[in-house]
Every structure is written in structure tokens, then in C-alpha cells.
Amino acid sequence: MVFRRQYPFDKYIFDFYCAKAKLDIEIDGQYHSFKEQIEKDKMRDDFLISKGFNILRIPAIEILKNPSEVAENIRQYALNLVKD
């Protein structure tokens, strides 16, 4: 499976994207926990889901704590999307 970094779509740029699974992976820093940003993220996600994308949001702190586990979880998630 191929994952691309900084993939553009419409007016958005995905942090990472797997075309085979149509998966947008967003790495969310602390800024994403503020109310205004939560609302913007929801609008963005709703739009992308309506276009057929799958969205996976991962807190940046989780990646810092255990990058190998997060990477494996992303891989499994993408594989499951392709199987369905």
C-alpha cells in the first residue's frame, strides 16, 4: 500500500493519503482540541465523507508515544477498508 504525504484535494491538503483505501489520515495536534477547530474539522470531514473518503484522525501525542504501534494500526485500518 502506498501512502502519500501532503496530498491535495479540493481546498484541503491531507496530511497523509492512501488512494487504494481512499483514506485521509490527519495528525491532530493540540490545536484541534479547541472548539472552533473541532467545528471546522467536522465540516471538513463531513464534506470529504460525502465525496467517498474515509477519515482517520490521530492525536499527535499518540504518535510520539508509540509510533510503531500507530503505524501498524494505520496499516491494518487501510487493509480492512480495501477488503470491504
- Specify whether the CB–CB gap between 16 and 3 falls below 8 A: yes
CA-CA distance, 59 to 82, in Å (whole number)? 24
In this model, does residue 84 exceed pLDDT 70?
A: no
Q: Domain locations in the chain?
A: 4-83
Q: Please tell me the pTM assigned to this model.
A: 0.88
In this model, does residue 21 exceed pLDDT 70?
A: yes
CA-CA distance, 79 to 61, in Å (whole number)? 24
Architecture of domain 4-83: 3-Layer(aba) Sandwich (3.40)
Q: What is the pLDDT of residues 24-39, one digit of tens each?
A: 999 998 887 778 888 9
The CA-based dihedral angle spanning residues 55, 14, 31, 51, taken in that order and rounded to the nearest 10 degrees: -40
